[in-house]
Amino acid sequence: MEKLLMTPGPTNVPERVLNKMNEKMIHHRTSEYSNLFREFNERLKFVFQTSNNVLTFPSAGTGALEASIANCFSTGDRILAVSIGDFGDRFIQIAKIYGLTVDEIKVPWGKAVSLEEIKNNLKDYHKGLIITHNETSTGAVNPIKEIGEYLKDKNILYIVDAVSSLGGIDIRMDEWNIDVIVTASQKALMSPPGLSFVGVSKKAFEYCKVSNIPKFYFDFLNANKFLEKADPQNPYTPAVSLISAANEALAMIEEEGLNNVFLRHKILADKFREEIKGMGLNIFTDENALSNTITAISFENANDIKNRLEKEYNIIVAGGQGAAKGKMIRVGHMGCINEEMIYRTMNAIREII
């Protein structure tokens, strides 16, 4: 039986995308590459729903999260940070490592932050707000649209980690007043791991100009300068094959249509959770904060369930993280996902229990 990835990343990659990586190598300082990169950047803007430039770096999403801190702030800047799980904690840790003063809103795992909590904690002295949209460790989503609307006329940088949501859940960078938004290739964008993408507003670039934190390879201003050349390029040798593959994946999203992609994710997520509840199992996440790209299921014997799914059914899921380690399995349903994959996973879980 063919291996099925039902993890929160890496996700299944369509054959059409994989085939792009088999094409002959091209040089990154040629018009051939510039034409590819120009097309790729327009498609990134389409998926980010922005007119802003989207920067590409060869890294996991964590690399781009680190870059967003190093580029947009200075040592000693005070920010507000929201954590609803393990990846929110990681973003906070990165900010502290770079010498930022971080005021934290800690939300119990499985729940989302409320707009009232943001209003009550955000102060005039905060230079930025950092928040995870889709918390991969708990399957919960934060209300980034409502927060963005509240921040519209405030002089604060709004930075969103959308690594496990962008491309699977509706996110409108410009309309929702997001200044920096980070994602990666291996999740809902159904591409191989290795690329991170950062949408950066004009306001955020102004912050970058006065940042005193050292940076070189992940310099937003330098990356943007090369991107805006008549023949767009990267400052350093890019991951050419990965960019070619990701460009094909974005073309597939364009062909399906963004709203259709979002609807497909919602329908499959709802169906999966309906069946899971029908088995008498408990969803870890608060029902008011459910993600359309990942479901966390509580199990006393989570490791056994996870191992049996892999060994007996060739289905790979993820276990719990941090405080939830050994207490849940996390099933990803994002990117290249269809009904057959959902039913295969549901039936395997049903047989095991």
Residue 154 CA: distances (Å) to CA of 31, 69, 102, 120, 339: 42, 19, 19, 15, 43
Give the integer Cα–Cα distance in Å for 141 and 31. 41
Instruction: Give tens-digit pLDDT for 254-290.
Output: 999 999 999 999 999 999 999 999 999 999 999 999 9
Tokens of 328: 């849940």
DSSP alpha helices (H): ranges in the chain? 15-20, 31-48, 61-72, 86-97, 115-121, 144-151, 202-210, 220-227, 240-256, 258-278, 302-313, 339-352
- The predicted pLDDT at position 264 comes to 98
- The pairing of strands 101-106 and 78-83 is parallel
Q: How confident is the model at residue 222 (pLDDT cuts 50, 70, 90)?
A: very high
Give the integer Cα–Cα distance in Å for 229 and 287. 47
Burial of 226 (C-beta count, 10 Å sphere; 0-12/13-18/19+)? middle
- Residue in the structure block whose two tokens are 């767009």: 232
Cβ atoms of residues 143 and 137 within 8 Å: no
Q: How confident is the model at residue 166 (pLDDT cuts 50, 70, 90)?
A: very high
Q: Is the pLDDT score of 8 beyond 90? A: yes
The residue ranges of every structural domain in the chain are: 4-11+257-352, 16-254
- The pairing of strands 128-132 and 157-161 is parallel
pTM: 0.97
Instruction: Give tens-digit pLDDT for 14-28.
Output: 999 999 999 999 999
Q: What is the mean pLDDT of the chain?
A: 97
Which of left, alpha, beta for 211 (phi over 0: left; psi -120 to 50: alpha)? beta
Report the pLDDT averaged over residues 239-267.
98
Tokens of 40: 């790729």
Give the integer Cα–Cα distance in Å for 188 and 344. 20
User: Per DSSP, what are the bridge partners of residue 141?
Assistant: 134
- The predicted pLDDT at position 334 comes to 98
- The predicted pLDDT at position 58 comes to 97
- Per-residue burial over 159-170, b if 16 or more Cβ lie within 10 Å, else e, is bbbbbbbbbbbb
Give the integer Cα–Cα distance in Å for 322 and 328. 11
Instruction: Give tens-digit pLDDT for 61-119.
Output: 999 999 999 999 999 999 999 999 999 999 999 999 999 999 999 999 999 999 999 99
Cβ atoms of residues 319 and 137 within 8 Å: no
Q: How confident is the model at residue 323 (pLDDT cuts 50, 70, 90)?
A: confident
CATH assignment of 4-11+257-352, among 3.40.50.720, 1.20.1260.10, 3.90.1150.10, 3.40.1160.10:
3.90.1150.10
Q: Is the pLDDT score of 1 beyond 90? A: no
Any idea what the Cα angle at residue 37 is, between residues 35 and 39, rounded to 5°? 70
Cβ atoms of residues 193 and 10 within 8 Å: yes
| CATH code, residues 16-254 | 3.40.640.10
- The predicted pLDDT at position 215 comes to 97
Residue type present at position 198: V
Q: Is the pLDDT score of 351 beyond 90? A: yes
Count CB neighbours of 303 within 10 A.
14
Q: Is the pLDDT score of 322 beyond 90? A: no
Instruction: Give tens-digit pLDDT for 173-200.
Output: 999 999 999 999 999 999 999 999 999 9
Phi, psi values for residue 202, rounded to 5°: -60, -40
